[in-house]
Chain A
Amino acid sequence: MKKGRGMGVYCAALFGFLYLPLAVMFVFSFNDARRNVVWRGFTLKWYSALFHDAELMSAMLTSLELALAAAAIAAVLGMLASYAMVKHKAFRGRGAYDALLNVPLMMPEVALGVGILTFLVRAGYELDFMALASSHALICLPYTVAAVRARLISLQESSLEDAAMDLGATEWQAFVKVTLPLAMPAIISGALLSFTVSFQDFVTSFFVAGIGIVTMPIKIYSMMKFGVTPEINALSVCLLLATFLLIGLNAAFAVRPDEASRH
């Protein structure tokens, strides 16, 4: 009994530490006061202000478009990259190939941002929307590869492509009719993850975004220069809810281990 209670206290403390700040933010987004510290009564006006702020809405739209583009690019590249990994077990530089695909995950984003910026400027490429979307796709790629590769390995082990080809499908038909539909949940899950990574990315955007491209995190950063307003709280709550929604979707698409290769 005692042990159980100790565990309960520990858990409460842990989750309090994790989620209390979010709860405070949530509550104060409804606070009817300009300052963030004293409770003055309930209001929805910050939310209303949020949706009437044209600049903010445009930043929101930019971020959504950016995340969609980055997720799409990362999903396609991730699928192809992991297909190559799984299909060709041994090729020259296999180890380097695997490692280099994961590097963006570990690399300091500042270094990555500076690197991409230097490269694009040197190459004389305009810092437009596609430049930013490609940079985001780069940081998202390890996530889609991780999600898709696990799925492809289990498909490979159950010799489904062999079976399709045995029954008369060409390599392309086997890919389109068997591998792709079965890998789709993993691809979508990787794309959703990429979407969140891109949507909340600040550092890379900060370096690579050209003039006139303002993403949501950059907008929040510039708003913060004038202090933490309830409007920012309200905005953060919206972002938080959107993220939870994506996590839920991701869980729904997550591959159950028994589904791919039931023997």
Chain B
Amino acid sequence: MDPPESAASPAPADYLCLSGVSKSYGPLTVVRDVSLAVARGEILTILGPSGCGKTTTLRIIAGFESPDGGRVRLSGADVTDTPAYDRDVHTVFQHYALFPHLSVADNIAFGMRMDKVPEDEIKKRVPEALAMVKLSGFESRRIQSMSGGQMQRVALARAIAGRPAVLLLDEPLGALDLKLRKEMQLELKGLQRRLGIAFIYVTHDQEEAMTMSDRIAVFNHGRIEQVGTPGEIYEMPKTSFVADFIGGANIFSAKVLRGEPGRAHLLLEDEHELNVPLDANESLPGIGARVKVAIRPERVKVFYKDELPFGLIRFDAILKDTVFLGDACQIYLQMFKKNPERLTIAWAGGDRYAVHDDMDVPVIAAVDPEDVYILERDNG
């Protein structure tokens, strides 16, 4: 489990390595100083909202864009100035980009023909690639006669047939419906395990990122906010953007009152005192500093009777609203008297009868201090 700081330093196992990559279009900087290392056989997801620079980063890796600054290394060699057609990297495009004038087999053979692979070798590898994506026997089909899911598989077969070192996938499932998408996610993961090559997967869907990835790089405004395993990203978000983008979070402002080894005393929203444990590698942001803290909605517990939850921090709250979502209930709480507009969201299980739907009734909200994460300093 690499700490993110060391993720950028090239290690022998790193297949692909970006260091200090930047890209601007005129006055608009879309990628800022991105450093990222991907190991052989790893699925790394670049996750972020639209316009965060994730597709541009992918195009820089593929060789369609050249960075203004920084280097791209592939299997130890600097490929920053290598054109796309000479890089051992293939892409699955967002809208598949299959050649409509060629048959399925000719689409898959395209890259191998460009690489001058002998025809009898191609004859063997095309059915292999098709079998990998479960489309055996589709060799002579026309592209126009296929469904979206089938085209997606052909695009995948075409990209892996040439046996690239790294496969880039640009929102490959974006055009499929939800059910098919879920199936394809697991299938892609299985395919990656069989091939043992690195996948770099771009998506804006946090659930897809959680499902697919060995590691996730969260992008915002062209910068990497955090790199880590899905567990790390979810459990230990470093910034309020990451906390909010992955899984959603209640983000509060707090003031550091005092600290002791491994613990911090915070004043939450100028009202409630909390004693929060710090992670081993986390340093206390100076006394008196304002910080942001995050609490996951599912970690906020709601009690309807006056119970005293053991070991939890207790807030006297008012129930403002309840939303039933099928597999969960969303509860809106008013926890702060000084700032009644600031509502806290809590998640409860899907048992709607366990949740009161009266409004404006007093309840007790409780949080485990372990579940309060200190994010960046609050400058706003």
Contact = CB atoms under 8 A, between A and B. Distances in A.
A2 B148 CA distance: 48
A158 B97 contact: yes
A159 B98 CA distance: 9
A166 interface: yes
A91 to B, nearest CB: 14
Contacts of B114: 164, 167-169, 173
Interface string A162-189: 1111111110010001100110000000
Contact of A163 (B83, B89, B93): B93
B315 interface: no
B357 to A, nearest CB: 43
A196 B91 CA distance: 44
Give the interface SS of chain A, mostly helix, strand, loop or mixed. helix
B101 A167 contact: no
B93 A159 contact: yes
A92 to B, nearest CB: 14
Contact of A262 (B86, B100, B101): B100
Interface in A208-263: 258-263
B204 interface: no
A164 B106 CA distance: 12
Contacts of A168: 85-86, 111, 114-115, 162
Nearest to A163: B97
A60 interface: no
A257 to B, nearest CB: 13
B84 A159 contact: no
Contacts of B83: 165, 170
A182 B143 CA distance: 14
Given A168-B114, A168-B115, A259-B144, A158 B95 contact: yes
B64 interface: yes
Given A159-B93, A259-B144, A262-B144, A165 B99 contact: no
Contact of A160 (B84, B85, B99, B115): B99
B110 A164 contact: yes
- Count chain A CB atoms within 10 A of each CB in B64, B85, B94, B97 and give the residue with the most: B97
**What size tier do the contact residues of chain A reach?**
20 to 34
B293 interface: no
Interface string B290-318: 00000000000000000000000000000
Contacts of B96: 263
B313 to A, nearest CB: 51
A259 B100 contact: yes
Contacts of A259: 100, 144
A260 B97 contact: no
A167 B162 contact: yes
A163 to B, nearest CB: 4
Contacts of A181: 101
A166 B91 contact: yes
Nearest to B144: A262
Contacts of A173: 114
Contacts of A163: 91, 93, 97-99
A41 B193 CA distance: 86
Contact of A167 (B90, B100, B148): B90
B64 A162 contact: yes
Contacts of B111: 167-168
- Count chain B CB atoms within 10 A of each CB in A159, A165, A167 and give the residue with the most: A167
A235 B230 CA distance: 79
B97 A182 contact: no
B85 A178 contact: no
A178 B158 CA distance: 15
Contacts of B97: 158-160, 162-163
A163 B98 CA distance: 8
Nearest to B162: A167
B99 A178 contact: yes
B175 A263 contact: yes
A177 B109 CA distance: 13
Contacts of A260: 100
A164 B98 CA distance: 9
Given A158-B95, A259-B144, A262-B144, A165 B85 contact: yes
24 contacts: A158-B97, A159-B97, A162-B64, A162-B84, A162-B97, A163-B93, A163-B97, A163-B98, A163-B99, A164-B110, A165-B83, A166-B85, A166-B89, A168-B86, A168-B162, A169-B85, A170-B83, A173-B114, A178-B101, A181-B101, A182-B100, A260-B100, A261-B95, A263-B96
Interface of B: 62, 64, 83-86, 89-91, 93-101, 110-111, 114-115, 143-144, 148, 151, 158-159, 162, 175
Given A160-B97, A162-B64, 16 more contacts: A159-B97, A162-B91, A162-B97, A163-B98, A164-B110, A166-B64, A166-B91, A167-B90, A169-B85, A169-B114, A170-B83, A178-B101, A261-B95, A262-B143, A262-B151, A263-B148
8 closest cross-chain pairs (CB), A and B: A167-B111, A168-B114, A163-B97, A263-B95, A159-B97, A165-B84, A166-B91, A165-B85
